[in-house]
Amino acid sequence: MSLRALCASSVLLLSIAAFSQPKQYDLTPVTTFSIVAIDPATGQLGVAVASRYFSVGSVVPWSEANVGAVATQANVNVGYGTRALELLREGKTAPEVLKQLLAEDTFPGKDGRQVAIVDAKGNIAAYTGPHAPYWAGDKQGKTWSAQGNILVGPQVPVAIGNAFESTKGELAERLYAAIKAGDAAGGDKRGKESASILVTCKECGRNINNDRWVYINVDDSPDPFAELHRLLNLALLNDWQDSSIKLLNAGTTDQARDAAIKAVSYAPERPSAHINLGLLDYATGDKNAALAEFKKAKQLSPNFQKQLDAILQFRPSFKSMLDDKAFMEKLNALP
């Protein structure tokens, strides 16, 4: 055989060998810490996560109203999220789903995965593979599972769980407190970059046919927790304002006013929140309270009148206020 033929044969054999080898993956672990949880009182399901990883909210958190919540991380198989929700939708429990996920997983790096699941009945299951990036582990409570990898140590999931159980407020607030406590305990030992909160409940979200009560993401920030908290307050402000409008349209004016009060508590610096509450104060017959809220809004915004006029244009149920001459005189005289 000539040297040229020998070289050609060698190249062919090497090419055949290369294509016959199993595909190798450059696995980039989603090194992070998270919590999945359920609020048994409201049925809300949610996930909070933080990481030294870009846009962690696009990979880790999954949740579906009345179905379950899932966190997928470490040597992550992102397909765990959609598959877990599909299996939960079929009626399987969280432990049954976890078992099937692992059995079906044929991708490389399964022993380095980390996943946690809570179903709509409160069942919890979690897995930290023996080769998940060190330090890796998880901890469970009655309504939650906390987990992480490349952490400073086991104190992180412990701190997450303790904060979740000791914090008052709705699920999203407790999830934020939990993930913030995980960071305070040392968190991801490489640092911080992104964070996310996802909370679902049936048709509770803004507008129509929306099951997402909260879905906020900080993709890249030197202090993602401060920004996450700011966004959470704005999300809850808008959720409760939307709830107040829906309750008003349903004819439950007093409940609508309660929702508006809740909205103001999350962002008292926002003039629109005070305007909305002022309108509902007026609708419930408390004109003095309405004037007090309008005064706050006017002091917060030089564009108060434009904002009020715009709201009245789209919410005709409040236009009768314009015909109340005595009230309008007091409104126009506000400092």
Q: What is the pLDDT of residue 28?
A: 64
pLDDT in tens, 175-230: 999 999 999 999 888 889 999 999 999 999 999 999 999 999 999 999 999 999 99
Domains of the chain: 32-222 (3.60.20.10), 240-332 (1.25.40.10)
pLDDT in tens, 1-46: 454 444 444 433 333 333 333 344 445 676 799 999 999 999 999 9
- 285: buried, middle or exposed (CB in 10 Å: 19+, 13-18, 0-12)? exposed
Q: Which residue has the tokens 């190249």?
A: 11
Query: Could you count the other beta carbons within 10 Å of the beta carbon of residue 41?
Result: 8
Over 70: is that where the pLDDT of 312 sits? Answer: yes
Q: Which residues contact 96 (CB under 8 A, 6 or more apart)?
A: 87
Judge whether 126 and 107 are in contact, CB under 8 Å. Answer: no
Judge whether 114 and 136 are in contact, CB under 8 Å. Answer: yes
Q: DSSP state, 188? A: B
Find how far residue 45's CA is from the centre of its chain.
10
- Of the listed ranges 21-30, 84-93, 216-225, 301-310, the least confidently predicted one is 21-30
pLDDT in tens, 136-155: 999 999 999 999 999 999 99
Q: Between 249 and 232, name the one with better pLDDT.
A: 232
CA–CA distance, 318 with 128 (Å, rounded to integer): 55
3-class state of residue 44 by DSSP: coil
Q: What is the pLDDT of residue 314?
A: 80
3-class state of residue 148 by DSSP: strand
Q: Average pLDDT in the 162-169 region?
A: 98
Query: Could you count the other beta carbons within 10 Å of the beta carbon of residue 110?
Result: 15
Alpha helices in the chain (DSSP H): 3-20, 79-89, 94-104, 155-166, 171-184, 224-249, 253-266, 271-283, 287-300, 304-314, 325-332
Q: Whole-model pTM?
A: 0.89
Element (H, E) at 161: helix 155-166
Q: Between 88 and 319, name the one with better pLDDT.
A: 88
CA–CA distance, 276 with 284 (Å, rounded to integer): 13
Q: Between 277 and 319, name the one with better pLDDT.
A: 277
Task: Give the rounded percent of residues in the chain with a pLDDT score beyond 90.
Answer: 84
Q: What is the CB-side half-sphere exposure of residue 244 using CA atoms within 13 A? A: 28
Q: Average pLDDT in the 262-274 region?
A: 96
Tokens of 153: 């140590």
